Amino acid sequence: MKYLYVAVLALALTSTFVRAQEAPTQMILQEQAPLIMENSRRTVAPAIAAVSDSGLPQAQDVLQAWQAKNLWQRSADGLFFRATKTEQNDYALYDFDSGEIVGTALSSDLEQIKPNSGIRALIGSALVRFQLQDPDPKRRRAALTSVQRNPGEDLLAPLRESLAAEPDPEILALKQRAERLLTMAYDADEDRRIAAVSQMAGDLGVDVRATLNPMLSTRQAVFAGPPPEALNIAETLVPGETIETSEAYDILVAADLAPPRVTAAQIRNALAQHIEGGTVGGVPVHRLDDPDMRLQAYAALAELGDVPPAPGPVQIAQTLAAHSFVEVYVEPSTRVTDAASEALDTIALTVGANQAVDLILDGLSLTSIYFLAAIGLAITFGVMGVINMAHGEFIMMGAYTGYVVQQIVPNHTASILLAIPLAFAVTFAAGVLMERLVIRWLYNRPLETLLATFGVSIALQQLAKNIFGTQARPLTSPEWLDGAWAINDVVAISYIRIAIFVLAGFFLCVYLFIMRRTRLGLETRAVTQNPRMAASMGINLNKVNMLTFGLGSGIAGVAGVAIGLFAKVTSELGSDYIVQSFMTVVVGGVGNIWGTLAGAAMIGFLQKGIEWFNPSNTLAAQTFMIVFIIMFIQFRPRGIIALKGRAAGD
């Protein structure tokens, strides 16, 4: 009975082996078995190509199993399977052609194929042709990402094959772009390459420049006489002009086209080794202190063949004149390099224009931040004439108000929308309180006002440290403000900056509405122009001053919420903006909101412009900016937009 079981098992294995050998996938694997089992990156490529190019629908499954280290060979018959471990601690063997389980085996009866990272990379490249046409769009996108990260000549054909059957317009556009990049770099057809370069000439993608730049890479070459006409020469090098004479001669020496130069140290050593009877080459030793005599002695030794000859200046010049030095393009086609050079010039011009746009957007962004920080000061200082050194602390109070609201309301969108009016209310109340307790006693006394508000500033900073500590507190923006609006690979602006720009415009409109369309604005302007006349007309000066100061402080609090979204919320937050706020109001023109806007634009664009010339040193940019503003005020002390009429003289 035992022998009968063994015979049946042997017969089953034999029939399985015969059927497996007749299966097309297994036949290919058997043919490539020696290379597969050798498991070497240097030799496995033909085996991978045989599976990939077979045209069989099972080729992708084989490559995926191989890449995932799930390709096994049965020791008994050498057949290959995909295997999974069962509950009985043996392995179920799946046939690649049928996809069905054809048996089980113990681990001791199987040999696992474990490709290293290099082999897995080769398999990954081969899998791309299948993944580019996979029904799952996620896999097709992943394949495109693989093509972009590891471009190669072998990927061009499968990428082109996948274009006609691509149903997704977005993925199709990405495939077409990738196909053009691969065509530029690897296509053998010169006309196709030039057409692809022309199509991508207006593209600002970094990958386009990364593809074009290697097409213009060069190497140095030297020739005895003129260079061959067939070469694609980038530049002819002239010794002593476009290349150093010594460097050119070293190139000749490296190419065995000229004898090496002999250094002074080598000459001294050679002379010391050939002293005979107190002379060297017929020159007495005591005369070798003279450099010319040393050269004469060395030349004599060279004529005798005792030392290698030392080329002199005349010989070096003659040797250089007899050779041509050129920079040769690695790309042999002149048409291709001309097209690539023209495309890079076009891209450089477009990049420069877009960088200018990006710089303008950065300037507008900084303008909106400075304007939002200074609009409250434009009311308290520009309109009321009060030098409020605690204005920065009102900005800080607004930022901390936003932080506290976020601790209570976890939803970031709701918390920010709630924090803006609440910050206005808190800082409005703080401004009214400060005006009632401090400012009202110091009108028309600027020095005392400056000192008093500076003291309040220090007190508010210390109070913030006592309450919140010295560690920076986070003020998290909503998810819809995360990221940036990327117009292209060069121009981008964060959504937070856009939101601040909109907020600054909103408060500009609010200010203009209050000052021109409300009773408070009318009374404020009247008190500003002539307080005595306004009082005689029944206007309550104390109430107007209190509400106006509170309004300016409230807007500063809103600015604090906005600034806290991208800056560190600390007790020193306001100190970072108080100087710029005063500069904005003074440069723009005291008492004029349009002047404040102009001052913010001037300072914002000036700072960004200086930073563009020296991006690694923002402190230097701020220093130059302050120096420029001091010079500007010397020539225009009333600011960009100065008040006219009676108010200008008050």
Cβ-based neighbour number of residue 254 at 10 Å:
11
Cβ-based neighbour number of residue 469 at 10 Å:
11
Token pair belonging to 464: 């913030």
In tens, the pLDDT along 243-271 reads: 888 888 888 888 888 888 887 887 888 88
Residue 623 lies in a domain: no
| Residue 7 pLDDT level (bands cut at 50, 70, 90) | very low
Q: Give me the mean pLDDT over the 364-381 stretch.
A: 83
The label of the residue with tokens 């000066």 reads: 541
- pLDDT score for 491: 82
DSSP string, 444-480: T-HHHHHHHHHHHHHHHHHHHHHHH-SSPBP-PPPGG
Residue 610 lies in a domain: no
Query: 24 is in which domain, residue-wise?
Result: 2-121
The answer to whether 364 and 432 are in contact (CB under 8 A) is no
Q: Does the structure show a pLDDT above 90 at 401?
A: yes
AA letter at 332: P
Cβ-based neighbour number of residue 399 at 10 Å:
27
* Whether residues 148 and 274 fall in one domain: no
Residue 473 lies in a domain: yes
* Whether residues 451 and 564 fall in one domain: yes
Residue 152 lies in a domain: yes
Distance CA 76, CA 6 (A): 14
The answer to whether 378 and 641 are in contact (CB under 8 A) is no
Q: Does the structure show a pLDDT above 60 at 647?
A: no
- pLDDT score for 11: 41
* Whether residues 105 and 148 fall in one domain: no
Token pair belonging to 531: 């307080």
Distance CA 396, CA 556 (A): 9
* Whether residues 514 and 405 fall in one domain: yes
The answer to whether 32 and 71 are in contact (CB under 8 A) is no
| Residue 397 pLDDT level (bands cut at 50, 70, 90) | very high
- pLDDT score for 41: 85
Residue 293 lies in a domain: yes
**C-alpha radius of gyration, the chain, whole number:** 40
Residue 450 lies in a domain: yes
* Whether residues 163 and 242 fall in one domain: no
Which of residues 548, 575, 602 is at a domain's end?
575
Q: Give me the mean pLDDT over the 458-463 stretch.
A: 92
- pLDDT score for 591: 66
Q: Does the structure show a pLDDT above 50 at 6?
A: no
The label of the residue with tokens 């002390």 reads: 637
DSSP string, 242-296: TB-HHHHHHHHHHTTSSPPP--HHHHHHHHHHT-BTTEETTEEGGGTTSHHHHHH
Token pair belonging to 501: 């720009």
Q: Give me the mean pLDDT over the 616-636 stretch.
A: 75
* Whether residues 437 and 298 fall in one domain: no
- pLDDT score for 382: 65
Nearest residue to 74 via CA among 28, 26, 119: 26
Work out the mean pLDDT of the chain and round it to a whole number.
83
Q: Does the structure show a pLDDT above 90 at 531?
A: no
Greatest Cα-to-Cα distance within the chain, rounded to the nearest angstrom? 128
Distance CA 400, CA 398 (A): 5
Q: Does the structure show a pLDDT above 70 at 2?
A: no
Nearest residue to 598 via CA among 583, 613, 612: 583
* Whether residues 34 and 175 fall in one domain: no
| Residue 432 pLDDT level (bands cut at 50, 70, 90) | very high
Nearest residue to 596 via CA among 398, 361, 381: 381
> Which secondary-structure segment (H or E) carries 537?
none
Q: Does the structure show a pLDDT above 80 at 27?
A: yes
Higher pLDDT, 443 or 344: 344
Domain count for the chain, please give it: 4
Q: Give me the mean pLDDT over the 6-33 stretch.
A: 61
Handedness of CA 142, 148, 150, 154 (dihedral sign): positive
Q: Which segment of 149-158, 456-465, 553-562 scores lowest on mean pLDDT? A: 149-158
Which of residues 575, 607, 632 is at a domain's end?
575
| Residue 459 pLDDT level (bands cut at 50, 70, 90) | very high
Nearest residue to 77 via CA among 111, 113, 35, 32: 111
Q: Does the structure show a pLDDT above 70 at 22?
A: no
Distance CA 431, CA 450 (A): 15
> Bridge partners of 80?
73
The label of the residue with tokens 């609006």 reads: 485
Residue 337 lies in a domain: no
* Whether residues 88 and 155 fall in one domain: no
* Whether residues 229 and 84 fall in one domain: no
- pLDDT score for 519: 87
Q: Give me the mean pLDDT over the 367-373 stretch.
A: 86
* Whether residues 448 and 544 fall in one domain: yes
* Whether residues 162 and 236 fall in one domain: no
Residue 352 lies in a domain: no
* Whether residues 311 and 380 fall in one domain: no
